[in-house]
Amino acid sequence: VHRDVSPQNVMVGVDGTARVLDFGVAKAAGRLQTTREGQLKGKIAYMAPEQYHGEVSRLTDVFAGSVVLWEAIVGDKLFSGNEGEIVAKILHRPIPSPRERRSDLSPAVEEIVMRGLARDPKDRFATALEMSDALVQALPPASSAEVGAWVTSLAAETLRDRQALIREMETEPHISPKRLVPATPPDAATKTDLASDKLIKIKSHARTWRLSILGLLVIAI
């Protein structure tokens, strides 16, 4: 159980593969759901309702993955506000359908997203693999080649600069690796951050929602 599935932890590479990273919460000592100070582990806007009561299972990751998918489809936050407002929305208020914001979304995909967001764990998909299979049937995902080409075009300048620095380091060993991290973030319009020489962090964006289907496949594994 990952416990912290969120856009910040989904990495999409130029090879077209989505990866779910940062298992720090899952590997926490004793796998405690709360810290010694009583603070919940994970990002509250992506936590399943039962997670607030200390109940954790693979179904909490299904809920979190569905929040990520909703946001990728719509291009906006699903649960926003201060901490109290977010908790109230997750626990008690009606969860809006992505079709309310994206009328072009197929009813089949809408049904899958909303099932993944069911408050009662028993009403969700039993596993992330089951959900990903349903998504692939409802809307075949982009190929890895298409996704890789999209990432490359989106972050072309950042990738070129990074490769140039790597080549420079290989010939001039005295150059600090810190130069691989840009002094200023990439253009906000690209919504990307430098991750590694071949990994680019892709934040939720209306044009990238099909990538989340690949991410769910990774979660299932």
C-beta separation of 54 from 33 below 8 A: yes
Contact call for residues 214 and 11 (beta carbons, < 8 A): no
Residues near 172 by beta carbon (within 8 Å), at least 6 away in sequence: none
The answer to whether 4 is a known catalytic residue is yes
Q: Cβ-count burial of 51 within 10 angstroms (0-12 exposed, 13-18 middle, 19+ buried)?
A: buried
Give the active site residue among 4, 22, 133, 161. 4
Report the helix count and the strand count for the chain, using DSSP H and E: 7, 4
Per-residue tokens: 60: 């909490």
**Which residues are tagged catalytic?**
4
